[in-house]
A and B are shown apart, each in its own frame.
Chain A
Amino acid sequence: MPESAPPAALRIRNLRKTYKDVVAADGLDLDVPVGECFGLLGPNGAGKTTTIEICEGLTAPDSGDVEVLGLHWKTDSDKLRQRLGIQLQETQLSEKLTVLETLCLFRSFYHQGPPAEEIIGLVQLEEKRDSRIGGLSGGQKQRLALACALVGEPELLFLDEPTTGLDPQARRQLWELIEQLKLAGRSIVLTTHYMDEAERLCEHVAIMDHGKTIALGTPRELVASIGVEHVVEFSAGGPGKPLDMEPLKHLEGIRDAKAENGSVLMQATKLHLAVPALLAELDRQQIPLTELRTHSATLEDVFVTLTGRHLRDE
């Protein structure tokens, strides 16, 4: 290995994977530098799990090149397994085992790494050390899954939707853990369909849809790229009086407007001009305003702008 330029933690070139008629990965290129937390953001079915499992050596790609820590799965799988920490999207660990027993099992597979007890402390499960997994909460199970990924002191961590289905407090607790891991200098690749998660944790984000990267950059760059700084959301009028959408799209400081489930979403470039203009227009149409909200543009808005859909279709 060349001393000068450290190899990328992960390097993907023209990756393709098709399941029958679904293209799960459609010519992906990704680079993750060492020491960085990289986010794969996308809605369900975008191909995040397929991509990450190919990187983990669990799924074979149809074509393309995947280099993990400068190594290839074909030739160096034993070495790679020792150096990676993996959390799968949907593993259910054996319910009848305790936290400690489970970690001792996973620990036994690795040449190096801290004792199981130490990892338990790291993920704050000391109190649950001898409890059966069946009795843990969702957040505790997720932290245990993370602990299982950490037992071999991995250089690169793959986390597939680590906080999906958790309550806000449990999510925040996991975020803090992941931030600690970043401070310890580990490279991390995580997938998520929560934009706030990606914004908070990731240095770089790839937004995926239908097996393709549709945007790539730092969260800040991506938000700036859509040229919209703010989003104005309002509801107005009643059943009797329909709102005329057309004039709204041409208001000052507004780039676009569209109606969505009874409310209107407008992308604003200049909030201080857009809001008064909106109020004046509603006044002109004689439609009363019932609700008005604004927020700074987020990765969610990036996704909506690029695809016309939301990340989570509820």
Chain B
Amino acid sequence: MNSAPAAAHTQTSTARSRFAEHPLTQLTLVRFREFLREPEALFWVFVFPILLAAGLGLAFRNRPPEVLQIGAVTPRLARSLRAEKLLSVSEFSAEGGLQALRSGKIALLAAPGSGSAIVYEYDDTNPEGRTAKMLADRAVQRAAGRVDPVGSSDRILREPGSRYIDFLIPGLLGMNLMGSGIWGMGFTIVDSRRKKLIKRLVATPMPRHYYLLSFGLSRLLMLVVEVGVLVGFGALVFKVPVRGSLLDLAVLSLISSLAFGAVGLLIASRAQTIEAVSGIMNVVMMPMWILSGVFFSAQRFPDVIQPVIHVLPLTAVIDALRANMLQGAGLVQLAPQLAILGCWMVVCFTVALKIFRWR
């Protein structure tokens, strides 16, 4: 009676074990285990980008206008100055006030002059001093009954999407995709080659393309976490917008990651020592860190090198990510960048496969 469910059960369990025992599954599992058991790698891939984003996000956050410290010599003056919200007024003796001004504790000192006039003492080369002077004077004049002839009101613009952190998060994401693609491939492959592990695998019936495919598959799965963590962090903590569709963002990340993986594979295809591969990786990545606009716009570089900067894979990735996240561009609009990435991927992968040292 219960033989049918039992049979079905054995069938699914053999299917499951066949999946578990498939060489590709096993090779991909090895990739994961090696990665997860390397605390340094985990730090660089998952924690470091967040720390960097948090640090830079805080350092360059758009602060509310600062309140300026000023001093007044008489209580009456202080009272009228306190009407201005952007000033924080302390009372001083004439001498104490001068001292505070010289030591930079206050930006301006207001004292009564001859008659009803007021003397402002401040450093006119210091922007804070000049701002304080205008605010103080306005407060004093209004207190004395001045009425502005033209009425006005403020509308303040601090829109998500145009802040530094919004610019930064896609840049960091691109940098992270490049780093984990190139480092992930480079170090793992060359380390295995150095330990004669690749040679040992080639001595088994393992189909060689499975070995390379396992890197692609493990990148794919790790990508979900990598992108999710950074974009999620940006969105939750800094309200960085994700205006494009998430599916487009996923496809874009995937293609970027595969392109960098192909570059990494090419870098690792011949090298036999960690030193050699580190050298090549630095030579390849350094120009992109500088030129591709991770931290500031790549437009700032001279026009003559713009065409070169444009075809670098990291530039294409970051441009596309920014367009997708900040302007909501879809894959069709990102075709030029995707084409650049596709070229890198195909060329690097083909060459790498041709020259790969399997021993």
Contacts and interface: CB of A to CB of B under 8 A. Distances in A.
A106 B203 CA distance: 11
A226 to B, nearest CB: 37
Contact of B199 (A58, A78, A84, A106): A58
B37 A91 contact: no
Contact of A88 (B26, B27, B196): B196
Interface string B191-207: 01001110110111110
Interface stretch (A10-18, A92-100, A206-214, A283-291): A92-100
Interface in A138-176: 148, 152
Nearest to B37: A96
Interface SS majority for chain B: helix
B66 interface: no
B23 to A, nearest CB: 4
Contact of A104 (B26, B38, B203, B206): B26
A101 interface: yes
B38 A58 contact: no
A283 to B, nearest CB: 58
A91 B21 contact: no
B25 interface: yes
Interface residues of A, number: 28
A58 B203 contact: yes
A110 B204 contact: yes
A88 B199 contact: yes
Nearest to B36: A96
Interface SS majority for chain A: loop
* Highest count of chain B CB atoms <10 Å: which of A92, A97, A105, A107: A105
Interface in B176-211: 192, 195-197, 199-200, 202-206
B204 A106 contact: yes
* Highest count of chain A CB atoms <10 Å: which of B38, B192, B204: B204
A81 B196 contact: no
Contacts of B195: 91-94
Contact of B30 (A78, A81, A91, A105): A105
B205 A97 contact: no
Given A81-B204, A81-B205, A96-B38, A105 B27 contact: yes
Interface string A13-37: 0000000000000000000000000
B204 A109 contact: yes
Contacts of B30: 94, 97, 101, 105
Interface string A230-261: 00000000000000000000000000000000
Contact of A97 (B22, B23, B34, B200): B34
A107 B205 contact: no
B203 A108 contact: no
Nearest to A96: B37
A314 interface: no
Nearest to A78: B205
A166 to B, nearest CB: 18
Interface string B2-37: 000000000000000000011101110110011001
B357 interface: no
Interface string A47-80: 0000000001110000000000000000000100
B359 interface: yes
A190 to B, nearest CB: 16
A148 B196 CA distance: 14
B37 A108 contact: no
A90 B197 CA distance: 9
A288 B34 CA distance: 65
B212 to A, nearest CB: 15
Interface in B25-58: 25-27, 29-30, 33-34, 37-38
* Highest count of chain B CB atoms <10 Å: which of A84, A91, A111: A91
Nearest to B22: A108
* Highest count of chain B CB atoms <10 Å: which of A84, A90, A109, A132: A109
B301 to A, nearest CB: 42
Given A58-B359, A88-B196, A108-B26, A94 B203 contact: no
Given A78-B205, A81-B204, A108 B34 contact: no
Contact of A108 (B25, B33, B38): B25
A97 B33 contact: yes
A238 B42 CA distance: 67
Given A96-B37, A97-B33, A108 B23 contact: yes
Contact of A90 (B33, B196, B204): B196
B196 A94 contact: no
A78 to B, nearest CB: 7
Contacts of A106: 204
Contacts of A110: 204-205
Given A106-B204, A110-B204, A92 B33 contact: no
A82 interface: yes
Contacts of A101: 29-30, 33
A105 B34 contact: no
B204 A91 contact: no
A91 B194 CA distance: 9
Contact of A91 (B22, B196, B206): B196
Q: Which 3 pairs of residues, A with B, have the shortest CB-CB distance? A: A92-B195, A81-B205, A108-B26
7 contacts: A58-B199, A93-B197, A105-B27, A106-B204, A108-B22, A132-B37, A152-B205
Interface of B: 21-23, 25-27, 29-30, 33-34, 37-38, 192, 195-197, 199-200, 202-206, 359
Given A88-B203, A96-B38, A105-B26, 11 more contacts: A58-B202, A58-B359, A84-B203, A88-B199, A91-B199, A105-B27, A106-B204, A108-B21, A108-B27, A109-B206, A110-B205
